[in-house]
Amino acid sequence: MAERYDRQIRQVDVISSEFETTFFDRFWGEHGQSALKNCSVYLLEASATGTETLKNLILPGVGSFTVIDDKETKWRDLGRNFFVDQDAATSHLPRAETTRQWLQELNDEVLGHSLNISIDSFLEEYKPEDGLFPVFVCCSLDEQILWKTSEFCWRHQIPFIYAVSCGFFGFVRIAIPEHCVWDTREELVSQELRLSEPFEELEQYCNNFPLESMDDTNHSLVPYAVILVKALKAFKDSHQGRRPESREDQETIRALLKSWMRTATEENFVEALKHCHFIKSSIEPNESLQRIFNDSNAEVESIRQKVYSKDRNLEFWILVAAVKQFFIEEHKLPLKGSVPDMISDTESFVGLQRVYKKRAEKEHWNVYRHVENICKQVGLETNFLSPCQVFEFCRNIRSIAVMRYYSIQEEMTNGSILKDALGSCLARNEQDAYLYVAFRCYLKFYQQQGRFPGQVMDGNLTSPLDYEQDYLQLVQLAEEYSETCDIEKLQVYLKEMCRCGDSELHSIAALTGGIAAQEVVKIITKQFQPLRGWFIFNGARSTSVTIPLCT
């Protein structure tokens, strides 16, 4: 089992590497893989886009999946959907079970279920499974189902992903009231070494390097972190204890570093010069983290509420509150604890690593005490979170994020939200944003007429297709958006939508399924920031656009 997924588990942080890791595993790590394993994906409507999405989740090893569909397998499914077969089409077998069977073949470690019922009745009957984290993937082109399902998910705090394709175009939308990213995977080395405010142990360690009296070889192997600590000290000593702030100060330090070099090419000093700005690096936490600290969710009262409502981000907010407490007391964020590679001899490097690791451990334990405290205050067991979880969170504290989406309901009823979102795309000249409006008209058309614009009902392929009527109706529907965008520019996209009819081109479905599945992985593993709203792919030009609906 392990072997199968080996290549998608990411390399664990060097210093905490107790796990057997592989060369390639920088994707989502052991945490990510187990999150995937504990996830249950519900596919609402077994369209080609839907089964392709599931395929890309079953292969990497999601815990279980359920296909919900009340239609029969038809001949037309055969030419679009990889996961149906001729027999099923001949005997009109339920599409839910047919696709379930073929999808199941991909990976027998994944539990597959099928429900031959309507989405309406599924929503009525749905009960969350114990210990499994649900995600809904909705692929219906029925606007009412989109509305209902997304509303249901919103209410139950279930991540909702909408993925459909029509003609040349693919659409993906994510809607989650609050999604907390535990690791955006953005590295900020400058702030992780805390060179602008060296801690006591680091300063002591640096005393082991008497730069002036060292021989040339050793002098050229002093790690740049040590050199910078010394430079900062020298600066403060000669400036009445003042910290370097201005550009001039920076220049003074550069000159100082240069004066210490024995040769013009001493590599460790070249590195020190390169990282010279670490000494006066910006103040932590940065704006986005500051905002998270100030969020009312990080208040104890609010956490108590979350315990009661079994909020899915409870752990995240407890940890944020604990780090915030640490910050209030220490005026700094806990150290990450690792040291990036730098020119040095092994001995000095290992020594430096130890200094950082020990200090980080100390600080992380302090955060853990705050966690225990908060848990006690809100009526949880003090061991609600393990030290391991706390340490991991501390290491990633500089790359957490909170995303709050607008619901489908807000988007559809609140014109100003949409106007802003589209406006921001059009301002960047991302014309594909028009496709969004065209698509909304397309959905509305279906809702009113029970068929798609340009859809030929008799199945006769050779008859000349006349979209004119349908097109004019779409233009009428588009009137609603005359405030939001330029209707004239929209027209060409409306024509395109007429061309699509109800056709789902397999390559576009496959592509859309690839995008949607990757977003589901991001949401489940809580790594990387997912798409910020609607994603639209335009096959006619191989372009894509994201319409932001998220704060």
Partner 1 sequence: MDNECQDKNNIYEGIQKCFGSLQVVETVRQSKILLVGVGGVGSEVLKNLAFSGFVNIHLVDLDTISVSNLNRQFLFRSEDVGKWKAIVAKERIEKLCPWSQVSASVDNIRSRKFPLEFFKQFVAVICALDNHKARLYVNEVCAFAQIPMFETGSTGYQGQVIPILAGSTECYSCEPKPQQQNEQIPVCTIRHRPETVEHCIVWAMYLFDVLFGNLEDSNPLSDEKDYKISYLASDSVSNSETKKTDLDEDWENMTCKRIFHKFFIEDLQSIQELKKDTFLSLSTLKIPSKEQLNNCLLNVQQKYSIEELKKEEQNPHQSVWTSEKACEVFIFCLKQLLRKWKESQSILMFDENDTISLAFVTAASTLRAEAFGIVPKNSFDVRGAAGRIIPALSTTNAVIGGVVVFQLLRFLSGSPVKDLYNARLSQVPRPRPRHQDEAIISPEVIRSPVEECIICHRLILVSCDATKVTVMQFIEDGLKGQLKLDPFSVATDSGFIIYEAEQDDQAISTASSSKIDTQTIAQLQLEEQPLSVLDDSGVNYRAWIKHQCDVALTTELIFRE
Contacts of 116 (CB under 8 A, 6+ apart): 69, 70, 94, 96, 97
Write out the binding residues for partner 1, residues 309-348 only, by CB under 8 A. Answer: 341, 344, 346-347
Least spacing, CB of residue 175 vs partner 1, in Å = 17
The correct pick among 30, 78, 304, 487 for binding partner 1 (CB under 8 A) is 78
Residue 235: alpha-carbon gap to chain centroid: 42
Q: Which is nearer to partner 1, 481 or 528 (CB)?
A: 528
**Burial level of 210, CB count in 10 A (0-12/13-18/19+)?**
exposed
Q: Which stretch binds partner 1 (CB under 8 A): 188-196, 370-378, 480-488, 512-520?
A: 512-520
Task: Give the three-state DSSP class for 166.
Answer: strand
Q: At closest approach, how far in Å is the CB of 281 from partner 1?
A: 17
Q: Which is nearer to partner 1, 23 or 264 (CB)?
A: 23
How far apart are CB 371 and partner 1 at their closest, in Å? 28
Query: What phi, psi does 134 have (nearest 5°)?
Result: -85, 145
Closest CB 546 distance from partner 1, rounded Å? 5
Selected from 521, 523, 524, 526, the binder of partner 1 by CB under 8 A is 521
Q: Tell me the C-alpha distance between 219 and 275, whole Å.
A: 18
158 vs 517 by CB, closer to partner 1: 517
Shortest spacing between CB 372 and partner 1, in angstroms: 28
Burial class of residue 63 in the structure, from the number of CB atoms within 10 Å of its CB (0-12 exposed, 13-18 middle, 19+ buried): buried
Cα separation of 540 and 144, whole Å?
Answer: 28
Name the 3-class secondary structure at 256: helix
Per rule CB under 8 A, is residue 376 in the interface with partner 1? no
Residue number with CB closer to partner 1 (3 or 125): 3
Among positions 21-50, residues that touch partner 1 (CB under 8 A) are 21-24, 26-27
Q: In this chain, which stretch among 59-67, 246-254, 309-317, 323-331 interacts with partner 1, using CB under 8 A?
A: 59-67
Residue 543 engages partner 1 in binding (rule: CB under 8 A): yes
The piece of 115-123, 150-158, 374-382, 494-502 that touches partner 1 (CB under 8 A) is 494-502
In the range 163-192, which residues lie near partner 1 by CB under 8 A? 167-168, 185-186
Return the number of other C-beta atoms located less than 10 Å from residue 341's C-beta.
8
Nearest distance from residue 277's CB to partner 1, in Å? 16
Q: Kindly state whether residue 94 participates in binding partner 1, applying the rule CB under 8 A.
A: no
CB 316, CB 182: distance < 8 Å? yes
Stretch touching partner 1 by CB under 8 A, among 14-22, 248-256, 282-290, 384-392: 14-22
Nearer to partner 1, 45 or 52 (CB): 52
x/- mask, partner 1, residues 435-474, rule CB under 8 A, reads: -------------------x---xx-xx--x---------
Q: Is 518 in the site for partner 1 (CB under 8 A)?
A: yes
Q: Does 505 bind partner 1 (CB under 8 A)?
A: yes
Q: Does 351 bind partner 1 (CB under 8 A)?
A: yes
CA–CA–CA angle 411, 417, 418 (5° rounding): 70
Please identify which residue in 294, 424, 476, 482 interacts with partner 1, judged by CB under 8 A.
424
Q: Is 7 in the site for partner 1 (CB under 8 A)?
A: yes
User: How far, in Å, are 120, 198, 218, 222, 226 from residue 347 at the CA level?
Assistant: 66, 20, 11, 10, 13
Nearer to partner 1, 472 or 540 (CB): 540
Among candidate residues 14, 398, 8, 356, the one with its CA nearest the CA of residue 187: 398
Q: Which of 42, 65, 82, 154 binds partner 1 (CB under 8 A)?
A: 82
> Considering only CA atoms, which of 83, 85, 160, 81 is closest in space to residue 119?
160
Nearer to partner 1, 54 or 314 (CB): 54
Q: How far is the CB of 404 from partner 1 (least distance, A)?
A: 15
Backbone torsion region of residue 95, taken as left when φ is above 0, otherwise alpha when ψ lies between -120 and 50, otherwise beta: alpha
CA distances from 327 to 287, 293, 335 (A): 14, 10, 11
> Of these, 17, 144, 204, 207, which contacts partner 1 (CB under 8 A)?
17
**# chain residues binding partner 1, by CB under 8 A:** 92
The least CB distance from residue 374 to partner 1, in Å, is 32
Q: Per CB under 8 A, which of residues 98..137 are in contact with partner 1?
A: 105-108
Question: From CA 97, how far away is CA 109, in angstroms rounded?
Answer: 18
Residues 393, 513, 524, 526: which binds partner 1 (CB under 8 A)? 513
Which bin fits 65, alpha (ψ -120 to 50), beta or left (φ > 0)? beta
Question: Of residues 92, 331, 404, 489, which one binds partner 1 by CB under 8 A?
Answer: 92
| H-only helix segments in 159-313 | 189-192, 200-206, 216-219, 224-238, 247-260, 267-274, 287-294, 300-309
First to last CA, the chain: 39
User: CA–CA separation, 403 vs 176, rounded Å?
Assistant: 8
Nearer to partner 1, 61 or 244 (CB): 61
Cβ closer to partner 1: 362 or 532?
532
d(CA 324, CA 318) in angstroms, rounded, equals 10
